[in-house]
Amino acid sequence: MKKQPIGVFDSGLGGLTILNALRRELPKEDLIYFGDTANVPYGSKSKEAVTRFSLAIARFLESQHVKLIIVACNTASAQALTELRKQISVPVMGVIEPGAEKAVSTTRNGRIAVLGTEGTIRSNAYPKAILKRAPKMRVTQQACALFVPLVEENWGKKPAAKLIAQTYLTPIQQSGADTVILGCTHYPILKPVISQILGKRVTLVDSADTLAEAARRFLLQSGQACSTGKGRVQVYASDDPTRFKRLAGYLLADKIGAVRLKKLDL
């Protein structure tokens, strides 16, 4: 069981931030990453569609004999996690709970803001998770629909990114939040822009780091952590693997090798 890989999936490139974090946190673990590039973005799609895509990917990862599936997508975590845990035989971990826990322990003034896709914000998954832990917290949410396309097109460092971010972040600045959850795995790629606008007094909670830490704790507690060798990475994309590999080169610290095409069985 210890030598079995960990499965990770996202709607596209954003989950590579979590793949990076997992490689740092769990360097001995084998990883299988699936980017659903044929259906990105998830944030504007219905709950039914997101659940259908997520189940198809999870079943593929299950067929690869993974020991844990990490939903490296906030929208899928918010909308499909319950169904995944019902229908998939291996443990499934999402990003919402670790992010909420980290934000509650980080805030100094009890005001937390959440940046996310339309689907994540509409689900109210983060406020529910935060208020379950600390009922007196004040939570502000902001949908940032254009952030994912900016990342997928590698526009994170262009002037347009700052202009768009300023528009989305103005309500966050007005809310007085001192802790902001980057509630989409694409958003850590825009961290330099977001941090520049919000300033040093605002702490950004990175879903990649919090989820990698939670995965490490889970594997250690369940006795499934691999303690020998160096982990390998396999990458699949549901559409245009050549483009995926090219863009992944901008986001990953290390090269990922071949990206294999795998159409979803929907």
Active site residues: 73, 184
Residue 142 CA to its chain's centroid (Å): 17
Residue 188 DSSP class: G
Beta strands in the chain (DSSP E): 6-10, 31-35, 68-71, 92-93, 111-116, 138-143, 179-183, 203-206, 233-237, 259-261
Residue 227 DSSP class: -
Evaluate the omega torsion of the peptide bond into residue 41 and state whether it is cis, within 30 degrees of 0.
Answer: yes
Buried b (16+ CB within 10 A) or exposed e, 16-39: bbbbbbbbebbeebbbbbbbbbbb
Q: How many angstroms separate the Cα of 187 from the Cα of each of 74, 78, 129, 233?
A: 11, 16, 20, 23
Count how many residues are written for the chain.
Answer: 266
Distance CA(200)–CA(49), nearest Å, equals 38
Distance CA(114)–CA(164), nearest Å, equals 16
